[in-house]
Amino acid sequence: MLLQVNYLIRSKKDGKYLVARLPDQNGTEVSYLLVFNRDYDALSYINSHGQEYKDYLAVETASPTQLKGLRQRWGYSGFGIVKDPLLPEIQFVV
């Protein structure tokens, strides 16, 4: 069985993951964990949208099982799968 590897961006300073924050139907802000399919996509995202923070960010790997645990532990509403890191084009999944 092949293991799918996902990539996340995490702060070296406080350990928080990069998320997208969106308002829900009630106007409350909810967080979606940003997930990349390739490590170089995550690095491109940092270089395109967070160049000044690149020394404070790291790219980590996570299996689907680990993602499920992160979602539960941190209380994310879902995942934001980054399809194109330069635009950025993100597909939100609950």
pLDDT at position 1: 44
CA atoms within 13 A on the CB side of 41: 19
pLDDT tens column, 45-77: 999 999 999 999 999 999 999 999 999 999 999
Angle at 10 between CA 24 and CA 22, to 5 degrees: 10
Q: Which structural domain, as residue segments, surrounds residue 77? A: 6-93
Q: In this structure, is residue 73 part of a structural domain?
A: yes
pLDDT tens column, 5-49: 999 999 999 999 999 999 988 889 999 999 999 999 999 999 999
Q: In this structure, is residue 29 part of a structural domain?
A: yes
Q: In this structure, is residue 72 part of a structural domain?
A: yes
Q: In this structure, is residue 19 part of a structural domain?
A: yes
pLDDT at position 5: 94
pLDDT at position 2: 53
C-alpha 36 chain-centroid distance:
7
Q: In this structure, is residue 36 part of a structural domain?
A: yes
Q: In this structure, is residue 1 part of a structural domain?
A: no
- How many structural domains compose the chain? 1
